[in-house]
Every structure is written in structure tokens, then in C-alpha cells.
A and B are shown apart, each in its own frame.
Chain A
Amino acid sequence: MSTLSTVIDPDALTDLGAVPDRRHRARRLTLALLLLLALTCILSLTTGASQASLWRALAHLYGGQDLATMDRIVLLDIRLPRLCMGILVGAALAVSGAVMQGLFRNPLADPGIVGVSAGAGLAAICAIVLGAFLPLSLQQILGSALVPVAAFLGGWGSTLLLYRVSTQGGQTSVATMLLAGIALGALAGAVSGVLVYYSDDNQLRDLTFWGMGSLAGATWTKVLVALPIIGLALAAAPFLARGLNGMALGEAAAGHIGIPVQRVKNSAILAVAGATGAAVAVSGGIGFIGIVVPHLLRLATGPDHHSLLPNAALLGAALLLAADMIARVVVAPAELPIGIITAILGAPVFLWILLRRRGELSI
């Protein structure tokens, strides 16, 4: 079978089983993460400021009784949509981080850090403040999807811009990427600042919420608006896995192993914009999930996107739910913006990666 037997010493061939293969470990990790997510879901439903109890509700259901009004409202209308949104947003942020890092061939690329979230947020703010100036027919068609759609377009535009600016001849410059991200973030901040002056009280409340990021505003409407966009982006991720793996070799080499590079790039940018845009639209700027989750998973089971992307979705969802629980518990009955918790957890990880890769950043 060996076509090159003349140069291969037959004794040199090892049994495949003897070679460490991280794919098996990644599969076991998927199972563990599923369990972890289920656990955080249950915890998330049981913790909160009110006295409503998941167990009492379940006991009632089991006994065939109606739920107490309090339990029904707290569980079904407050905690459950919040849970669903936490899962969606966490998965979206983690997967778009992983996809973006694969696309830019750099573990520091994260929608929050390089300005994609800022671009999406800016577009969302524009939609909130200036949406009333749109033609009435357009407003009616878009309805509650106006803000998410605007956020998606904003995210898409900034990802494209970022890619153009920081990638030349198939090579991405880390320094340019990070600096362009700073510029994008500053620009978005400035324009948002201007818009704040033109907003009324109601809009102002909506706007404050972008800065921090929170799941507190979760409603079933928001979940249903975000679900198709994030769902589509997550569903596209497995088809990107091989392309992103190949892109690790560089664009030219990826093409030579048979990957349609341009198509992979376009789909990756669309997926990142969709997932980030929808997440920002419903929950504001929650940072660092997209950088912490893929990084931890790469340490555990390696950078193969076939396992990295689904595992990132699971761990991202679990991590965001956990952060949300911390946000709800530490200053109860009030709550902290979740962005504060994720930043406290994530910023040190980001610095740690920077420290280890300092050499590459020299401009």
C-alpha cells in the first residue's frame, strides 16, 4: 500500500492508536459541557430575587395542579426567556469569537475587542433614535426586528471594513487589526454620544443599557427575534470548520488543499455579523465571552474547528448563564450589568494571551 516504500523504514510506522488524538478528548468534552449547560440551566431557573421556586412549580405540575400566579410569572415570563436569551447570546458570542479568530488566524480577534460589537451597537442605537424617521411602511415591515437587523448590518459592515484594513495579500496584521478595532470603537462611541443628545427619556434608558450589556431586558419577543438569526449563524458554523482549519495554513495554502477561500471568508464574516449583531441587539455589549471560551477550549482539546465550534457554543452558553447568576446574586435584590462580570473574568485572560504572544505584536 505504501507508495513510497523505498524511502520508508517499515519499522518506523507506528500503530495509529499509539498517537495521541485529541478528537476523542473533544468528544468527551462535548458530553461534559452538555451536562454543565443542563446544570447551569436548572440553577439559573432556581436562583433569583423572588421567592418563586422551580421545585414547587414542578411539584404542582406533577400533581396536576395549576401554577401559582407568582410562580407562573416569575418562571415562565421572567426567568425562562432570560434563560433562553442567555443560551442564545452566550453561544452566539463564543462561536463568533471562535469563527473570527479562525478567519483572522489570530486568537486575539474577538468581536468585542476589534470593534464589531461597537459597530453593531452603533447601528442599533441609530435604529432606536432615528428609527422613527424611517418610512412608516418600512417600520411596519421590520417591527421589533428593526434593531436586530440594524445591528446585523452594522456588525457586517464593521467586520468587512476591519478585514479590508488589516489583511493584505492574505496576511493579517495583528497590530493593524487591534488598532483598527480601537478606531472603530472610538468612532462608534463618538457617534453614540452625539445621538444621546437627540434622544428622549425612553430612548435614553434603552441607550444606557447598551453600554453595560445585560440579560435583564429579556422578553419572549426578543428571544424570538434573535433566535432565527443566531440559529442560522450557529447552523452555518459546522460547514465552516474545515475551511477555518485550512485557513490556519494561510489563505494561499488553504486554497491549495481545495478550500474555496473566498466563499469561506464571506460566510464566516456573515456568520460573525449575524451572531454578534443579534446578540448585541438583544443584550448590549457583553464582552470577552468570545475570547475566553475559545481560548480555554483550545488549551483543552486543540484548535480543530470541528470540535471547537460546537463546544464553544455549549461553554459560551453555560458561562454566560453562570455570569448572569452571579450578576443577579451579588447585589440582590438589585443586579449588576452582566458585562461587568464577563469583563472581570475575561480581561485577565486577554492580558495573559497578549503576554504570551508579545513577540508577534511588535509593529
Chain B
Amino acid sequence: MTQVSPPATAQLQATDITVQLGRRQVLRQVNFSATAGRVTAIVGPNGSGKTTLLRAMTGEVVHSGQVYLNGADTARLTPWELAAVRAVQPQSCTISFPFTVLEIVRLGLSAGLSAADSHVPLQALAAVGLHGFAGRMYQDLSGGEQQRVQLARVITQVWEPMVDGTPHWLILDEPVASLDIGHQFTVMDLTRSYAARGGGVVAVMHDLNLTAMFADHVVLMEAGKVAATGTPQEVLTDETLTRTYNCPVPVNTTPPGKIPFLLPQARRESTTVST
């Protein structure tokens, strides 16, 4: 916070973000950075400011502080300049008109529905496990399916993870929140693949196990501040999580000693023993 470095060109950087909602300070001087080519997860208990941080960085809530994307101050970019390098998936999206799935996904193409015929929307649908859904009505789908349609729209918008050395960004608000375990893996694999090809991925995550499996970098929020940042191994520890989430969270690691995992069942065990 003391040193002021010039914004890096392949990063999403937020400095000194403060958000005031009514009388409550939801975020207090938060600094955040994510590097392209990695999956960055924002985790934390309910009300810790995860989604607010994401919304501040996408310009959806009024905030103080600066946000730099690929080295450019986002406040100075027009909506279409931003849309060309960054796509944002909302937590949920209800649509009041009878659009088909394909029509929704096509909104992600830069010229919208009138765009020249492109295979990208269909490829995107296949990538989120919705092959064959193109002609279905969006309103008739289940919540999890709608969420994946939105993800397909979002990846359609920034289909190439990298163009002329400039990384593109996926900003996702709980992308797997209402998905079954199989589709959680589909979607998280997709984000990994996007990052592996040079794109940037920032996702608010609820599931700490999925975070441990798929994130390269974890930002742990607590009461409007960043409580810890680092690799999953560094952040997802017994001590940190137990303190932040205010309940005992035993963390173990998978046999090779690499990926941390949470075993909430262990808590049940211990309480049973103690009573």
C-alpha cells in the first residue's frame, strides 16, 4: 500500500477501493490484483464484501479508488472499449422477454443479435455443456442451466483469451453457485483452460474445495478487508479459515500433499465426541 508501482499491463489491479452503502462501509481501502494467465478466486464469509469488490471493479457500484485493467484506468474507458477486453457474468439474470438460448448467447457477440453468423455462440454453448439447447426458450430452463447460458454469453464476448498479446478477462460472480457437481467441474475446467491460454479469470467463489482445486491465487475477504492473499496452500489453512469463518474448519491435503481440502464432516465428529 505504501509503494506506488505503475499499473502492470497484464493485470487487473484495484487500489484503495472504499465502498460506502448508506452509513455502512462495505469495503475499506481494499487493494486487489489479479494476473492474466491465472485463476484468481475471491472467497470469504457472507457479507464480507466479495461481490461488492467485484461490482466496484466492474463499475457497478460507486466507489473511491482506482481500477486498472491491462494498465488502463477503467474509469476512462468507454463501455464498448471495456466490453472488448472484459466480460462480466452476473450472479443471476432474469429476462422478461421470450429470448431463445442462442439469442441470449449471441448478445455477447460485439454486434449483438445482428452479428454475422458465427459458430462461436454454439461452441460456447457446447463448452458449458449445453449442446443442443440453442433453440430452447431461456425462460423455460432451470436456474443452473440459465447460469450456464449466461456463462456461454460471457465467454462468447471474449472468446479469444489473448489478442495481440493483450489478455482478455472473465469476471465471474459465483459461476458455479447453482450447478451440480459435474457441471461445476465443466465450468471450472473452462476457466482453467481460459487462463492457461493467457486470459485472466477472476471469480467470486463460495465453495472452498473447488477453490482449492482450481484457483491459482486466492483473496480471502473478511469484514470489508482483505484478510489473506496467496496460493490456496497459503490461504486455505486451518488457522486462517477458522478465524475468518468463525467456526472450526479442519483442512487436510490430498495424498501427494498438494491440494488442500476441507472436511466439514470432521466438525460433526468432534462435536459428537465432546457431548
Contacts and interface: CB of A to CB of B under 8 A. Distances in A.
Interface in B122-141: 122-123, 126-127, 131-132, 134-135
Contacts of B79: 255-256, 258-261
Contact of B193 (A6, A9, A302, A306): A6
A256 B160 contact: no
B133 to A, nearest CB: 10
A242 B127 contact: no
Contact of A16 (B78, B86, B117): B117
B246 interface: no
Q: Which 6 A/B pairs are nearest by Cβ-Cβ distance?
A: A258-B83, A303-B97, A258-B80, A12-B126, A256-B88, A242-B112
11 contacts: A3-B197, A7-B127, A7-B190, A14-B134, A19-B122, A241-B114, A249-B104, A249-B107, A252-B55, A256-B88, A257-B83
A181 interface: no
Given A19-B122, A259-B79, 6 more contacts: A1-B119, A2-B123, A13-B122, A19-B102, A242-B114, A248-B96
Contacts of B60: 252, 255
A107 B58 CA distance: 29
A1 B119 CA distance: 10
B81 to A, nearest CB: 8
Nearest to A260: B79
Contact of A250 (B90, B102, B134, B194): B90
B157 interface: yes
Interface string B226-245: 00000000000000000000
Contact of B98 (A19, A255, A257, A303): A303
Taking each of A4, A105, A255, A360, which has the highest tally of chain B beta carbons within 10 Å of its own beta carbon? A4
A7 B90 contact: no
A253 interface: yes
B56 to A, nearest CB: 12
Taking each of B78, B82, B96, B111, which has the highest tally of chain A beta carbons within 10 Å of its own beta carbon? B96
B193 A249 contact: no
B122 A253 contact: no
A166 to B, nearest CB: 14
Taking each of A1, A8, A106, which has the highest tally of chain B beta carbons within 10 Å of its own beta carbon? A8
Interface string A92-107: 0000000000000111
Given A13-B126, A252-B90, A298 B100 contact: no
Contacts of A193: none
Interface residues of A, number: 43
Contacts of B84: 258
Interface string A245-284: 1101110110111111100000000000000000000000
A249 B93 contact: yes
Contacts of A23: 113
Contacts of B58: 252, 256
Contacts of A261: 79
A20 interface: yes
Interface in A8-33: 8-9, 12-14, 16, 19-23
Nearest to A253: B90
Interface string B64-103: 0000000000000011101110111010010111111011
